Amino acid sequence: MERDRKKGRGKGERTSILIFTLLLLLIAAATASGREAERVTDARGKAFSPGPYRRIVSLAPNLTEILFSIGAGDRVVGVTSFCTIPPDAGRIARVGGIVDPDIEKIIALSPDLVVASKNGTGKSAVETLDSLGLSCFVFDVDSAGKVLEAMETLSLLTGMPPEAGKVIESFRSRLLRLRKSTPREKVKGLLLLSVTPPIGAGGKTFIDEVLALAGVDNLLKEETAAYPRLSAEKVVSLRPDYIFITRGMGEREVARFRKTMEALSGNTRIVEVDADLFTRPGPRVLKAVEVLRKVIGRR
């Protein structure tokens, strides 16, 4: 101030400096808040800049599948050894298992984003990646609605690939249509992921939603465990109209199970369905609903 006066700076000049500073501050604040609004948060509440990200490592098969479905497959530089769908994903560098991915391998791929699943990806892996400054975007995908959300988020994070909008819209309208057309009259059924011993899908799984949308009353809805272990006797006592079995189990075991069931409860229909549709909540979750509807004759 003292010097200003000595130099003889006028009042106007000082005012203009003040205004200029204020303006700068305002602009800074505006851009900051603008950026704030653009930030994307993951299932843990962690904020991310929207990207677009170009080198993504996926630590969950369903997220890999979603990335490919929205046309962002070319952004994926690393996947787990379980990421086999679509076949193109199998040609990408492997970073190990889902629970224990090889952290060094991930770093070596120098990704700008790692996507992980809340209930699947090993927690210590996520924590280690975080501590190394390689942030994990954690998704919690456990329903068709969440698949849609994940599609939208991933499309945003990859800078809206050209196909994404169409794919997402089609998924949204299909989901809406399936919700509206859910049959009022339900059949009673359950889905088994294994037959020796029978292990079914309970109410806390995304399969429960698939069954509901297909018009199947899940007889295992009230089970405490997500995937309860049952006995053949228990299965019979539930008197299911339908038992869905995921394909891929030993043929002999399935045949034996069929025989037991047919002897004990003649009215039950046992239908084998594609295992891939019922083990990962991804873009084909609606296909799973459609397959079940076709089986029980409700389109």
Partner 1 sequence: MGGKRTAHFFAGCLALTALSGIVALTLGSFPTTLSDVAHGVLAFLTGNPAGSTGARVVSDLRLPRFLLGLLTGGALAASGAVFQTVLTNPLADPYILGVSGGAAVGSVVAFVVGGGDWPLLQLLSFAGAALGALAVYWLAGVSGRRSPGRLILMGVIVGALMNAVILVLLALTPPGKVPEALFWLMGDLSRGGRNSLVILIPLVGAGFLLLLALSRGLDVMLLGDEEAAATGLSVESFKGIAVGVASLLTGTVVAFTGLIGFVGLIIPHVVRRFTGGLHSRVLPGSFLAGGAFLVLSDAFSRILQPVGLLPVGAVTALVGAPFFIVILRRRA
Q: How far is the CB of 86 from partner 1 (least distance, A)?
A: 21
Beta bridge partners of 269: 242
Does 112 contact partner 1 by CB under 8 A?
A: no
Cβ-proximal residues to 77 (8 Å cutoff; 6+ apart), any chain: 55, 56, 57, 92, 93, 109, 111
Nearest in space to 236 (alpha carbons), one of 252, 256, 218, 260: 260
Does 55 contact partner 1 by CB under 8 A?
A: no
Does 124 contact partner 1 by CB under 8 A?
A: yes
Task: Using CB under 8 A, pick the residue from 123, 166, 259, 294 that binds partner 1.
Answer: 123
Give, in degrees to the nearest 5, the angle at Cα 68 between 226 and 150.
Answer: 50
Nearest in space to 216 (alpha carbons), one of 247, 191, 245: 191
Q: Are 144 and 173 in contact (CB under 8 A)?
A: no
Q: How far is the CB of 202 from partner 1 (least distance, A)?
A: 9
Does 221 contact partner 1 by CB under 8 A?
A: no
Please choose, out of 50-58, 66-74, 184-192, 227-235, the segment that lies near partner 1 by the rule CB under 8 A: 227-235
Does 14 contact partner 1 by CB under 8 A?
A: no
Does 125 contact partner 1 by CB under 8 A?
A: yes
Q: How far is the CB of 135 from partner 1 (least distance, A)?
A: 15
Does 131 contact partner 1 by CB under 8 A?
A: yes
Please choose, out of 1-9, 27-35, 117-125, 266-274, the segment that lies near partner 1 by the rule CB under 8 A: 117-125
Does 205 contact partner 1 by CB under 8 A?
A: yes
Q: Are 77 and 56 in contact (CB under 8 A)?
A: yes
Q: Are 72 and 155 in contact (CB under 8 A)?
A: yes
For 204, other C-beta atoms within 10 Å of its C-beta total: 14
Does 95 contact partner 1 by CB under 8 A?
A: yes
Site residues, partner 1 (CB under 8 A): 81, 94-100, 102-105, 107-108, 110, 117-120, 122-125, 127-128, 131-132, 204-205, 224-229
